[in-house]
């Protein structure tokens, strides 16, 4: 695995980050806490549609932009939980606390992988602003928090797929480069 890491470094400094290979493990821990902190996830439809197209687009971008997308997504999700009143929901307080700490840690660790301070994705910002506005409009109702919790699961899952594709494509490039010798 060490040689893979060194190769990732050579390809793009961002991938020097050994931690990226552990991302999905820590994200799984975060997902488990998210599921356990409340009851069954709602099956209701969020009036703010899930931004699948953003995830499709980011697949075609450079690794650096993909990492920015992941970091900014984690950051926006974190902000929702940190800055808006959750008193309506009866989620387990300890689990919720650990969920938030883990989410924050995912973002912080990922930031250490990144050389840039840039924030690129405007549509992503718009999407999270809409989510926040619905929370505010409903005064942080149980229903709107449960929709956010459900969509958080979907986001964390989509972000895992993105991280897996970054790691796989780096590994594939490594294989094809080695094949040249
Ligand atoms: C994360 O969880 C999924 C589904 O439970 C599993 O398939 C995957 O192997 C896990 N990944 C890691 C790195 O633990």
Reported as a single tens digit per residue, the pLDDT across 92-150 is 999 999 999 999 999 998 888 776 667 768 899 999 999 999 999 999 999 999 999 99
Whether the CB of 24 sits within 6 Å of ligand 1: yes
Task: Choose between 177 and 145: higher pLDDT.
Answer: 145
Which atom of ligand 1 lies closest to the CA of 28? 1
Residues with Cβ within 8 Å of 97's Cβ and at least 6 positions away in sequence, in order, are none
Nearest residue (by CA) to ligand 1, atom 6, is: 28
- Contact of 58 with 69, CB cutoff 8 Å: yes
Packed helices 122-137 and 142-179: angle between N→C axes, nearest 10 degrees: 160
- Contact of 82 with 100, CB cutoff 8 Å: yes
Whether the CB of 28 sits within 6 Å of ligand 1: yes
- Contact of 156 with 32, CB cutoff 8 Å: no
Write b or e for each residue in 131-145: b if 16 or more Cβ atoms lie within 10 A of its Cβ, otherwise e: bbebbeeeebeeebb
Question: What pLDDT score does 181 carry?
Answer: 53
Question: What pLDDT score does 14 carry?
Answer: 52
Dihedral sign for Cα 97, 103, 106, 110, please: negative
Residues with Cβ within 8 Å of 177's Cβ and at least 6 positions away in sequence, in order, are 7
Question: What pLDDT score does 2 carry?
Answer: 46
Question: What pLDDT score does 18 carry?
Answer: 73
Whether the CB of 25 sits within 6 Å of ligand 1: yes
> Rounded CA gap, 172 and 149, in Å?
35
How many residues would you count in the chain? Answer: 181
Give 1's pLDDT tier (boundaries 50, 70, 90).
very low
Range of the domain at 171: 2-180
pTM score: 0.88
Nearest residue (by CA) to ligand 1, atom 4, is: 28
> Rounded CA gap, 105 and 107, in Å?
5
Structural domains in the chain (count): 1
Reported as a single tens digit per residue, the pLDDT across 47-90 is 999 999 999 999 999 888 898 999 999 999 999 998 888 889 99
Q: Residue 25 belongs to a domain with what CATH number? A: 1.20.1250.10
Give 10's pLDDT tier (boundaries 50, 70, 90).
low
């Amino acid at each position: 695995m060490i040689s893979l890491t060194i190769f990732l470094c050579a390809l793009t400094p961002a991938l020097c980050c050994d931690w990226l290979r552990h991302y999905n493990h820590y994200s799984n821990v975060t997902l488990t806490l998210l599921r356990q902190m409340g009851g069954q996830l709602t099956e209701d439809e969020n009036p703010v549609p899930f931004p699948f197209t953003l995830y499709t687009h980011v697949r075609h971008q450079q690794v650096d932009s993909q990492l920015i997308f992941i970091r900014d997504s984690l950051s926006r999700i974190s902000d929702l939980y940190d800055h808006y009143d959750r008193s309506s929901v009866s989620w387990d307080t300890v689990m919720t606390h650990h969920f938030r700490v883990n989410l924050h840690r995912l973002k912080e660790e990922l930031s250490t992988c990144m050389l840039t301070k840039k924030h690129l994705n405007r549509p992503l910002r718009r999407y999270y602003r809409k989510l926040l506005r619905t929370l505010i409009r409903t005064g942080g109702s149980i229903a709107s928090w449960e929709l956010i919790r459900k969509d958080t699961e979907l986001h964390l899952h989509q972000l895992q797929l993105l991280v897996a594709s970054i790691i796989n494509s780096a590994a594939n490039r490594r294989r094809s480069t080695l094949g040249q010798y």
